Structure 1
Amino acid sequence: MFEPRVALASLSGEADASWADNSAEYVGAAFLGGIALDGPTREAARSMVDRDRTEFLPSDPVAFIDDQLSALADVSIRPGYNVRTTTLGPLREAAAVCADHDALLEINAHCRQDEMCAAGAGQSLLANSETLCEQVGAAAETGTTVSVKVRTEVSAVDLPAVAAAAEDAGADVIHVDAMDSESVVADVVDATDAFVVANNGVRDEQTVREYLEYGADAVSVGRPSDDPVVLSRVGNATTAYFDGSKSSVQSTASHRQESDS
């Protein structure tokens, strides 16, 4: 999917092409956005800006995505675009642009802001998996690689079941914000054959190893995504894990267990 197996996670109003370019030497992918595509989500984003949230609100969101991805054409990174919508037409247009740039289209089933959820986007999609799967299917039909950004700890939501349904609808990547329920990553891994990216609190070797030992295929960095010290540390830990140190560490752990018994 991408190498090294570290991604930059989208930060609304901040994650643009310059942000991705500045950290590209440390990571294999960057999810730009999020960006609101249609009337209801754009109105929600405006309301969020009115209370001092930062959001991207270009006059033409699809053209903006195209321009941003074009700016990364010569950067050694696989880009993705995190989007929010309630309608399929703009989603298909954005997905087609992503396909043209070999970029991932990431459906945002993650945003917990009240305005976005009230519009029927963001984390509200986790409780409405039929609509989420319609969005996944519409994006996948364009030939782009589809990611779904989800979060744990949403009341009455069976996240592994939602992930499995999204995969059946055409999702290639499940991007999990683990919140304070890191072990749910293992449940998502068990429920799907999709490429699983684990997010939340990824800062160092310990946090990287925890997620990867739960079975995640990659990790992503959120807030410190512009900190080269953190990114270098995370990148080195991830590369070392997949290069084989995982086996040596597990062997050491097994040896210790045998010695203690």
Structure 2
Amino acid sequence: MFEPRLALASLSGESDAEWAREGSDHAGAAFLGGVALDEASRGAARELLDRDREEFLPPDPLSFVEAHLDALADVPIRPGVNVRSATVRPVADVARICADHDAILELNAHCRQSEMCRVGCGEALLRDTDRLCAYVTTARAAGADVSVKVRAEVTGVDLAATARRIAAAGADAIHVDAMDSESIVADVADAAPSLFVVANNEVRARESVREYLDYGADAVSLGRPSTDPRIRHRVRRAVDEWFAEHGEQ
């Protein structure tokens, strides 16, 4: 899906084309966004702005995505776009843009902000596997490679079962925020071997990288530290060392 096996994870309101360009010296992929696509998710994003959170709220989210993907055309990194939508139709529209740019469409089933969950985004989508699978199928039918960003430790959610379902629906990857349950990565990798597993949370150096890759992750991602070139360098070196020793998963 991408090489080297280090991704930059989306940071709400911060992860744009310039951020991806700056991180391309170490990473193989960068997930822009998150981008709210429809009226309900954009309304929730406005509420988040009102309480001083960073959000992307361009007048036209689809034009915004296309412009930032165009800006990365000459950058040696595979882009992805993390999106939030309370309805499925805009997912097809943005997936077509991603397909045209060889970008990964990442469905956000991760955000735990109450404003987003209330309109059916983020964790609310993670809890509704049938609807999540419909989003996956829609994006895949539009031609995009599809990743699903998920979070561990969500009450009532079996991530291994979710991984099996989204794989059957056509997902290519799952991006797992492990929280404090790092071994969940092994459960997900075992449950859905066809998925490319990206592990996230507290990835900082050799120890955390090796733990996640030993659990069966295919890659790791950096969140907040993605803007620090010293950490990017340290993590990239650890990733390269692990694959030099072990080869492909």
TM-score by length of structure 1 reads 0.93
How far is 1:206 from its partner? 0.2
Amino acid at match of 1:182: E
How far is 1:88 from its partner? 1.7
Amino acid at match of 1:228: P
How far is 1:182 from its partner? 0.3
Instruction: Map Cα deviations across residues 125-169 of structure 1 (whole Å, 9 max, x no partner).
Output: 111000000000100001110000000000011111011101111
Q: Distance in 1 between matches of 2:67 and 2:78?
A: 15
Alignment of 1:140-151 (within 5 A): 140-151=140-151
Given that 1:107 and 1:146 are in contact with CA atoms closer than 8 Å, whether structure 2 keeps it comes out as yes
In the other structure, the counterpart of 1:216 is: 217
How far is 1:46 from its partner? 0.3
Q: Distance in 2 between matches of 1:126 and 1:76?
A: 32
In the other structure, the counterpart of 2:228 is: 227
Instruction: Map Cα deviations across residues 46-68 of structure 1 (whole Å, 9 max, x no partner).
Output: 00100111000001000100000
In the other structure, the counterpart of 2:136 is: 136
Across the aligned residues of Structure 1 and Structure 2, the Cα RMSD in angstroms comes to 0.8
Instruction: Map Cα deviations across residues 201-257 of structure 1 (whole Å, 9 max, x no partner).
Output: 00000000000000000000000101111000100100111112x48xxxxxxxxxx
Q: Give the gaps of 5 or more residues in structure 2.
A: none
Q: Distance in 2 between matches of 1:114 and 1:16?
A: 24
Runs of 4+ in 1 over 3 A off after TM superposition: none
SS in 2 for 1:70: helix
SS in 1 for 2:190: helix
SS in 1 for 2:216: coil
Given that 1:84 and 1:107 are in contact with CA atoms closer than 8 Å, whether structure 2 keeps it comes out as yes
Alignment of 1:70-85 (within 5 A): 70-85=70-85
SS in 2 for 1:190: helix
Rg larger in 1 or in 2?
Answer: 1
Amino acid at match of 1:124: A
Alignment of 1:7-46 (within 5 A): 7-46=7-46
Given that 1:126 and 1:159 are in contact with CA atoms closer than 8 Å, whether structure 2 keeps it comes out as no
Q: Give the gaps of 5 or more residues in structure 1.
A: 248-261
Q: Distance in 2 between matches of 1:134 and 1:75?
A: 32
Aligned residues: 246
SS in 1 for 2:107: strand
In the other structure, the counterpart of 1:254 is: none
In the other structure, the counterpart of 1:198 is: 199
Q: Distance in 1 between matches of 2:18 and 2:34?
A: 15
Amino acid at match of 1:230: I
Amino acid at match of 1:225: S
In the other structure, the counterpart of 2:48 is: 48
In the other structure, the counterpart of 1:115 is: 115
Amino acid at match of 2:140: A
Given that 1:31 and 1:81 are in contact with CA atoms closer than 8 Å, whether structure 2 keeps it comes out as yes
SS in 1 for 2:171: coil
Amino acid at match of 2:208: T
Amino acid at match of 1:62: L
Instruction: Give the structure with the larger helix fraction.
Output: 1
SS in 1 for 2:227: coil
Amino acid at match of 2:182: E
Amino acid at match of 1:158: D
In the other structure, the counterpart of 1:100 is: 100
Q: Distance in 1 between matches of 2:127 and 2:189?
A: 20
2:225 maps to 1:237: no
